[in-house]
Structure 1
Amino acid sequence: MSNVSIIGLGNMATAIAARALAGGNAVELIGRDQAKAEESAAALGGATAGTAGAVPAGDIVILAVPYASAAAVVGEYGDALAGKVIIDISNTFNADASGLVTPDGIAGAQQIAKAAPASAHVVKAFNTIFGHVLAQGGRLDVFFAGDDARAKAAVSEFIESLGLRPLDVGGLEMSRWLESVGPLLMGLARNGVGNFNIALRVDILEEQ
């Protein structure tokens, strides 16, 4: 099992933390509001509350903050993230989910990787699942991308421990396509499906 630190105290952070604890992982919650971090950790049962800006206890650090502040947060932590596997779960679409706010051809995860210490490895994951859907349970598909084989193996094992199916889509450059899934999901939820209780899944078909 993994030792995981989650920076952020939102719904997605809580959903991942709950499933991580259920899977036998050690979980540390970190937020700028120390009282809220301690309250959230106590509510989950079994989690601990870390200190914002200090070296995270986990070998895997989940960056559960909005894209707009993600690179800045990583920069603030600086060498405290050295040697860590950083999972970026952010989405990069605009306010009405009609497009992305990142520069053409560049993923938010790649920008985060540039802000991280050279010894840290960024892996994109979890951004294609709505937080409330993740919290409901079930074996969902988690698409992930990264450049370091060991980091991806650690993330894959962690995803499995959550009762989810990890699906590797390639190097970190593929993160921009994972981030493009955000507007697709929003469009499906608002139109073709009509609600947000949806998740993307890959079906492997037998040869005919």
Structure 2
Amino acid sequence: MTNVTIIGAGNMGAAIANLAIAGGNTVQVLARDEEKARVHAAASTGVVGDALTGDLVVLALPYPAVAEVLAAYAGQLDGKILVDLTNPLDFATFDSLVVPADGSAAAEIATLAPASVVLKAFNTNFAATLASGSIGDAKTTVLIAGDDADAKASLVALVEAGGLHAVDAGSLGRARELEALGFLQLTLAAGEKISWAGGFALTK
């Protein structure tokens, strides 16, 4: 069992909270003021600024909000697994990423929280597919990138215990490709080429 804290109670935060609870983990959800938590009753809830209880912390936030939240929890994230699910889009144009072409949001977060173990995951999933467990006829797969094998194994176990597939996508350097994939999927959905209950599936 893992103690999980999810910062952000929007659709993604709620879906990941419910996934973690389904796998038998304890979950704390911290919402920002404008959010309304839609999470399982078994989760403990609070607001951003409350003390973190989890050993694994999920940043279920839009990328522009991340730096402020990390600053608010400076020191509290040391030694924790920090899961970044952001896609660093330019929300003004919805036509580009706002991180360097050879970098990623995950790399920026690793710089801001150097004493944490940063993983990239969930950014290529829509909330609806995490909740339903499927994309078309395929089971939903969570791609996970990071440099710490034990941390990745912990997140793989959490995802699989919740009933989904998980795949180790390589080092944290692969976050760049995951964010490009997430960006493409988002633009397709925003352009109504696919539905928000669809997206890319991985089959073996």
Which is helix-richer, 1 or 2?
Answer: 1
Matched, 1:131 2:127: yes
Tell me the CA shift for residue 63 of structure 1: 0.6
Instruction: Name the structure 2 match of 1:107.
Output: 104
Kindly indicate which of the two structures has a greater share of residues assigned to strand: 2
The 8 Å contact of residues 57 and 82 in structure 2, kept in 1 or not, is answered as: yes
Give the equivalent residue in structure 2 for 1:116.
113
**Equivalent-residue separation in structure 1 for 2:48 and 2:125 (angstroms):** 26
1:196 aligns with 2:196: yes
Report the equivalent of 2:42: 46
Against the structure 1 CA distance between its residues 51 and 80, is the aligned structure 2 distance closer, same or farther, given a 3 Å change threshold?
A: farther
Name the aligned partner's letter for residue 203 of structure 1: T
Give the TM-score taking structure 2 as reference length: 0.88
Could you say which residue in structure 2 is the equivalent of 1:142?
142
Counterparts of 1:70 and 1:45 in 2: how far apart (Å)?
26
TM-score, normalization by structure 1: 0.86
Would the alpha carbon gap of residues 187 and 9 (structure 1) be closer, same or farther in structure 2, given more than 3 Å must change?
closer
Residue-by-residue CA offset, 1:28-58 (whole Å, 9 max, x unaligned): 0112439x67xx37x6211112453344111
Contact 1:141–1:200 (Cα < 8 Å) also in 2: no
Q: Which amino acid aligns with 1:152?
A: K
User: What letter corresponds to residue 76 of structure 2 in structure 1?
Assistant: A
Largest Rg, 1 or 2: 1
Cα pair distance change 1:190/1:29, threshold 3 Å: closer
Q: Tell me the distance in 1 between the aligned counterparts of 2:192 and 2:76.
A: 44
In structure 2, distance between residues paired with 1:200 and 1:194: 10
Structure 1 residue identity aligned to 2:147? D
Specify every segment of 5 or more residues in structure 2 that has no aligned partner in the other structure, as ranges.
Answer: none
Q: How big is the alpha-carbon RMSD for the aligned residues of Structure 1 and Structure 2?
A: 2.2
Identity %: 40
- State the 1:191 CA deviation: 6.2
SS of aligned partner of 1:145: strand
In 2, distance between residues paired with 1:67 and 1:197? Answer: 22
Aligned to 2:26: 26
Q: 1: distance between equivalents of 2:89 and 2:57?
A: 23
Runs (5+) with no aligned partner, structure 1: none
Displacement of 1:25: 1.1
Q: Residue 81 of structure 1 contacts residue 117 of structure 1 at CA under 8 Å; is this kept in 2? A: no
How many angstroms apart in 2 are the aligned matches of 1:192 and 1:32? 29
The answer to whether the 8 Å contact 2:129/2:140 transfers is no
Conservation of the 8 A alpha-carbon contact between 1:71 and 1:111: no
Contact 1:93 1:182 in 2 (8 A): no
Partner Cα distance (1:6, 1:165) in 2: 20
- Structure 1 CA distance, aligned partners of 2:191 and 2:52? 41
